[in-house]
């Protein structure tokens, strides 16, 4: 049984909020255009991600899925269109496991604890509450037994789960996942699916790039991308 990591409470999520008030999007993208290297990658993309729901981004290779995720994360500015965040300081971006270097001399627990740096500060030791959040995140993805293992010794699926645990530990209102199920075995997929379900149950808006919708929990909305016309 996993432990879900709750999102930090906000004014809009307090119990005194009117019951009829609609949820405000964690992120809204409208008419997003992106060119990379003089080549059109995204054209007129719209997306709305709501708290407590998963939004899936699907499409063939070259359709701009990871580019759109980078735009939502604030790592890439669109050439046209707009992106509005409910809280631009509360975004967790989880890249594919290939972004994790084999030379990183840290343990799984230390990697996940990095998710608390935004709250605790780089040089300050983690508080008891921070350590509890890290432990919950590790448990959510089934990585608690490996918290002392060096990251360099992890399998691909274990690395992916460790990175997702780091994202959960941030307690962000928006969790962005780039191909979280890529090349995972069945047990790792189940653990990641449970983690996504935990995140949405806790009120987090999750946006996931995927090639396999069936491997993910049900999506509240699906954004289907295709290469821009003339880009073949």
Residue 105 pLDDT: 86
In CATH, the architecture of 25-90+173-181+205-231 is 3-Layer(aba) Sandwich (3.40)
Residue 125 pLDDT: 82
Residue 231 pLDDT: 56
Taking alpha carbons only, the member of 174, 182, 175, 176 closest to residue 210 is: 182
Domain boundaries, the chain: 25-90+173-181+205-231, 97-171
Residue 29 pairs with which residues in a beta bridge? 47, 83
Cα–Cα dist 161/202, whole Å: 18
pTM summary value = 0.87
Residue 183 pLDDT: 75
pLDDT-flagged residues of the chain (< 50):
1-2, 9-18, 20
Residue 10 pLDDT: 45
Residue 112 pLDDT: 96
Query: What dihedral do alpha carbons 219, 100, 151, 156 form, nearest 10°?
Result: 50
**Which H or E run includes 133?**
helix 128-140
The answer to whether 213 and 220 have CB atoms below 8 angstroms apart is no
């Amino acid at each position: 049984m996993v432990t879900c990591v709750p999102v930090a409470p906000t004014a809009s999520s307090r119990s005194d909020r009117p019951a009829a008030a609609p949820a405000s999007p964690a992120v809204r993208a409208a008419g997003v255009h992106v060119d990379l290297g003089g080549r059109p990658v995204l054209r007129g993309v719209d997306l709305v991600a709501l708290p407590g729901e998963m939004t899936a981004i699907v499409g063939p290779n070259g359709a701009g899925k990871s580019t759109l995720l980078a735009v939502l994360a604030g790592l890439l500015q669109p050439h046209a269109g707009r992106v509005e965040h409910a809280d631009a300081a509360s975004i967790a971006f989880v890249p594919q496991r290939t972004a994790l270097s084999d030379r990183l001399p840290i343990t799984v627990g230390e990697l996940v604890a990095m998710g608390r740096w935004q709250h605790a500060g780089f040089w300050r030791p983690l508080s008891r509450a921070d350590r509890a959040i890290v432990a919950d995140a590790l448990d959510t993805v089934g990585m608690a037994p490996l918290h002392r293992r060096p990251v360099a010794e992890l399998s691909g699926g274990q690395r992916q789960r460790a990175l997702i645990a780091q994202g959960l530990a941030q307690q962000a209102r928006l969790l962005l996942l780039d191909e979280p199920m890529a090349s995972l075995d069945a047990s790792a997929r189940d653990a990641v699916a449970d983690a996504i379900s935990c995140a949405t149950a806790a009120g987090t808006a999750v946006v996931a790039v995927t090639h396999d919708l069936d491997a993910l929990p049900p999506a509240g909305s699906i954004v289907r991308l295709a290469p821009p016309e003339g880009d073949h």
